[in-house]
Amino acid sequence: MRNGLIFTLILMISQICMGADKITSLSGADVLNGEPKTITTANHKATIAVFLSAKCPCSASHEALLKELAQKYKDFQFVGIHSNSDETAEETQKHFREAHLLFPVIQDARSQWANKLGALKTPHAFVLNPSGEMIYHGGVTDSHVGPSAKKQFLKEVLEDLQAGKPSRHKEGRALGCYIQRADEA
C-alpha cells in the first residue's frame, strides 16, 4: 500500500514537471532523405507529434487514421518521430516511403525527444499548442488496432481545438509497441 502511494506521488510530480517544460521546436533528420528538419510550434493551431515505428503493427494500423486527420485538419501541423534504435535506417526509410504519410517523419537518433516528452510506445501522440505547452498526450485511439477503436482520442482533441473548445482529453492510454531507446540497445 505504501509503495503504491509513493509510486503515485512520484508519477504525479513527474507529470507536473513534464507539463512545465515547453517544446517550441522539434528537430531531426527527415527519415526519407536525411535532410535536417526543424518543426516549430508557432503559427499553427497546434502541433501533433506522433511517435511511430517501422516494424510495430500497432503503429502501422494507425497510419491511415493519421493521414485522414492530417488531411482534414490543415490548420494543425503533424510530424512523426521515429525513436526506435532497433530499426535500421533502411527499413525505416522503406516503411515510411511506402506509408505515404502526409507529414514528415524525423529521426530521434539519441531518443532525446522520446525522453523529453515521455513517449513510451508507438503510436504515442503529443499535442502542443503554439507556445509549446502540452495539451494532450497518449494514444491515438483506445485500441492496439486503429480501425477497431471505439474511442479516437486524438481526433476528439482536434475536433475540440478546431471548435475553439478546451480539449476533452488531457491524456489517454497509449497502446502499442514499446520504444527501443538508444541507451537500451
The helices-and-strands tally (H runs, E runs) of the chain is: 6, 9
Contact 175, 89 (CB under 8 A): no
Domains in the chain (CATH in brackets) are 23-184 (3.40.30.10)
pTM for the complete prediction? Answer: 0.86
User: What's the CA angle centered on 114, arms 113 and 120, to 5 degrees?
Assistant: 165
Q: Distance between the two ends of the chain, CA-based, in angstroms?
A: 34
Strand runs (DSSP E) across the chain, as ranges? 25-30, 36-40, 47-52, 77-82, 105-107, 121-122, 124-128, 134-138, 177-178
Number of other residues whose CB lies within 10 A of the CB of residue 31: 25
Q: What is the pLDDT tens value at each position of the chain, 185 positions in all?
A: 554 434 333 433 444 444 458 999 999 999 999 999 999 999 999 999 999 999 999 999 999 999 999 999 999 999 999 999 999 999 999 999 999 999 999 999 899 999 999 999 999 999 999 999 999 999 998 666 666 668 788 999 999 999 999 999 999 999 999 999 977 65
